[in-house]
């Protein structure tokens, strides 16, 4: 589960991390009042208007309807309405929205933190995430803030540093100091950075996050260290401990079919191919997608129906799959172990009959317990369903129906 910038920042603040303050609005009418409130709280007279969507690259991205960028500066309260109007309700396309613009339902009106002062501002990169190989959390940081970190990693890997956290004791003072020194800081900014690092790690750890990325971390002209952005991904398995953060889920950011599948307890990912699949087990489901590709098609989805592939679940899965008009065939691939294949076959036949008709050919491959009986059930059903036993046979049938 991903969070919006404004949500991530509110969590950071609750753990004592200094942030670029802001007020989120979902109506243009509220924008001026929000800006006034922000000025009262922070003294800012310029404002940054930031589109809230679950994708990066907003500053360089463009709102399709207005041509505005996704992050813009308003140099005074008189510009607020115009700037918010250019973003809110529009569709924002960025390098990270996979070629499809995302609707902006909320904007964050944030204080201007790049004000002039006694020293130059500088931007850093910092994130906390799991290092899978070491089985430990790691703080990744760099002096090259404010830009695409993957680009930095590729061209100047020596500018990216890592600090691993020992789970038995958590983050230690010497580690925070090392990070602040490596970022070239001294004096008050150094002190602020050590506090920032510890608070950021504690936020990550405290909310069961899978990733917490701050880009940029800003040293202001008056030597404060603040989070100007926040990208947060939660560990889905840890959410049961945090109903307050679970409530931050924004379903409008997700594919509606995926939301529906999720509510039906189906593990479903929408893809853009022409052959749908329905499989038991995640590994076999991925392998089935690969088989579809090798047979000349493209997978329309990932779908793990789990261990109980009964008529009700199969019917729900059919409904979800058939919402996609690009689907030209459906491949059902079940390896029956504990689940009996004949029961699954009966489920498919019943679901088919309940739905009246299904406009595309179905290939059912059932292997394992009672596979022979299952094949007979399918073959004798009189429905537009092809049966297969071996995985290769299923692949060949996909090729046949696509030809």
Partner 1 sequence: MSVLVNKDSKVIVQGFTGSEGTFHAGQMIEYGTNVVGGVTPGKGGSNHLDRPVFNTVADAVTTTGADVSIIFVPPAFAADAIMEAANAGIKVIVCITEGIPVKDMIHAREYIKGFDCRLIGPNCPGIITAGEAKVGIMPGFVFKKGKIGIVSKSGTLTYEAADQVAKAGMGITTAIGIGGDPIIGTTTKEAVELLMNDPETEGIIMIGEIGGNLEAIAARWIKDNAKKPVVGFIAGETAPKGRTMGHAGAIVGGDDDTAEAKKRIMRECGIHVVDSPAHIGAKMAEVLGIKA
Point out which span in 5-13, 204-212, 223-231, 351-359 binds partner 1 (CB under 8 A). 204-212
Backbone angles phi, psi at 10, to 5 degrees: -65, -35
CB 122 within 8 A of CB 219: yes
Query: How far is C-alpha 311 from the chain's CA centre?
Result: 31
Selected from 27, 37, 75, 136, the binder of partner 1 by CB under 8 A is: 136
Q: How many residues bind partner 1 (CB under 8 A)?
A: 53
Rounded Cα distance between 184 and 182, Å, is 5
Per CB under 8 A, 28 contacts partner 1:
no
Closer residue to partner 1 (CB): 211 or 383: 211
Per CB under 8 A, 265 contacts partner 1:
no
Q: How does strand 160-165 pair with strand 136-142? A: antiparallel
Closer residue to partner 1 (CB): 64 or 290: 290
Selected from 67, 99, 116, 135, the binder of partner 1 by CB under 8 A is: 135
Binding letters toward partner 1, positions 358-397, x by CB under 8 A: ---------xxx--------------------xxx--x--
Per CB under 8 A, 254 contacts partner 1:
no
> 177: left (phi > 0), else alpha (psi -120 to 50), else beta?
alpha
All residues at 6 or more sequence positions from 400 whose CB lies less than 8 Å from its CB, including other chains: none
CB 280 within 8 A of CB 314: no
Footprint (CB under 8 A) of partner 1, residues 60-89: none
**Least Å distance between CB 133 and partner 1?**
6
Which residue, among 261, 270, 275, has the nearest Cα to 332 in the 3D structure?
Answer: 275
Selected from 43, 157, 243, 283, the binder of partner 1 by CB under 8 A is: 283
Burial class (CB in 10 A: 0-12, 13-18, 19+), 96: middle
SS3 362: strand
Closer residue to partner 1 (CB): 124 or 204: 204
On the CB side of 395, how many CA atoms lie within 13 Å of its CA? 13
Closer residue to partner 1 (CB): 7 or 280: 280
- Catalog residues that contact partner 1 under the rule CB under 8 A: 130, 132-133, 135-137, 150, 167-168, 205, 208, 210, 235-238, 240-241, 267, 269, 271, 273, 279-294, 298-299, 302, 304, 335-338, 367-369, 390-392, 395
């Amino acid at each position: 589960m991903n969070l919006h910038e404004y949500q991530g920042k509110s969590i950071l603040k609750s753990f004592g991390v200094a942030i670029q303050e802001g007020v989120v609005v979902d109506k243009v009418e509220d924008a001026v009042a929000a800006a006034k409130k922000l000025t009262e709280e922070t003294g800012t007279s310029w404002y940054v208007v930031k589109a809230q969507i679950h994708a990066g690259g907003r500053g360089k991205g463009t709102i399709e309807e207005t041509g505005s960028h996704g992050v813009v500066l308003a140099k005074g309260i008189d510009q607020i309405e115009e700037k918010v109007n250019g973003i809110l309700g529009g569709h924002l396309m960025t390098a990270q929205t996979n070629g499809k613009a995302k609707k902006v339902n909320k904007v964050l009106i944030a204080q201007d933190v790049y004000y002039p002062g006694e020293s130059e501002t500088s931007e850093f990169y910092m994130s906390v995430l799991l290092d899978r190989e070491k089985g430990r959390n790691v703080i990744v940081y760099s002096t090259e803030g404010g830009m695409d970190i993957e680009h930095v990693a590729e061209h100047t890997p020596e500018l990216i540093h890592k600090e691993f956290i020992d789970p038995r004791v958590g983050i230690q003072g010497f580690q925070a100091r090392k990070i602040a020194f490596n970022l070239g800081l001294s004096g008050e900014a150094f002190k602020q950075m050590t506090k920032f690092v510890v608070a950021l790690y504690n936020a990550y750890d405290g909310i069961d996050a899978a990733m917490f990325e701050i880009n940029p971390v800003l040293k202001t002209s008056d030597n404060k260290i603040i989070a100007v952005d926040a990208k947060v991904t939660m560990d889905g398995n840890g959410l049961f401990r945090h109903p307050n953060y679970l409530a931050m889920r924004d379903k409008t950011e997700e594919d509606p079919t995926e939301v529906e599948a999720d509510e039906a307890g189906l593990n479903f990912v929408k893809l853009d191919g022409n052959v749908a699949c329905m499989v038991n087990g995640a590994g076999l489901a991925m392998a089935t997608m690969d088989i579809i590709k090798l047979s000349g098609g493209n997978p329309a989805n990932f779908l793990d129906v789990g261990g109980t592939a009964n008529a009700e679940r199969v019917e729900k899965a059919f409904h979800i799959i058939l919402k996609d008009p690009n689907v030209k065939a459906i491949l059902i691939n079940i390896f029956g172990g504990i689940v009996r294949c004949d029961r699954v076959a009966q489920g498919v036949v019943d679901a088919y009959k309940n739905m009246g008709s299904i406009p595309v050919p179905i290939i059912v491959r059932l292997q394992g317990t009672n596979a022979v009986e299952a094949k007979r059930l399918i073959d004798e059903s009189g429905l537009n369903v092809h049966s297969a036993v071996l995985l290769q046979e299923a692949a060949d049938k996909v090729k046949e129906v696509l030809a």
